[in-house]
Amino acid sequence: MKKFASVVALGLVVAGCAPSYVNLTPHTVPPVSAGVYPFEVQWTSPRRGANNANVEASVVIGTNFFPMTRVPNTENRWEARIPLPPGKSTVNYYYKFDYEYPGLPKRIESSDRSMEYMISVPAQ
């Protein structure tokens, strides 16, 4: 019983330390002539001091990193407008966050990566 309680407690501690991602990008978007599509995510890190002005967010498609900007007047939301490869009806992507948090004797660099998502652009 003690072993089970230890495993449950460890699971709660680990789950409490994981970042949270809310993908606000639609799964399916209508085709647009410019081929540029909006991506948006809400990211929250439980790590003390990580959610600060020095956070750098990116959308990663294949080996390409596209920088994101903070959404004004909101908390922990990021957006980007990204050109998708022409002729592809689905594209896989994920979000990456680089940040620093307080450490001794100096700040510690870290990064988080979301799960992989997919966006579909149906043919016209």
If pLDDT is split at 50, 70 and 90, which confidence band does 5 have?
A: very low
* Nearest by Cα to 51 from 14, 94, 100: 100
- The pTM score is 0.82
Higher pLDDT, 25 or 101: 25
pLDDT tens track for 54-88:
899 999 999 999 999 999 998 889 999 999 888 88
Domains in the chain, please, with CATH? 19-120 (2.60.40.10)
How high is the mean pLDDT of the chain? Answer: 85
Instruction: Return d(Cα 90, Cα 118) in angstroms, integer.
Output: 7
Higher pLDDT, 22 or 15: 22
Instruction: Return d(Cα 123, Cα 70) in angstroms, integer.
Output: 31
If pLDDT is split at 50, 70 and 90, which confidence band does 104 have?
A: confident
pLDDT tens track for 22-34:
999 999 999 888 8
4 pLDDT higher than 50: no
Average pLDDT over residues 104-121: 93
Higher pLDDT, 14 or 42: 42
- The total of other beta-carbon atoms located within 10 Å of residue 60's CB is 16
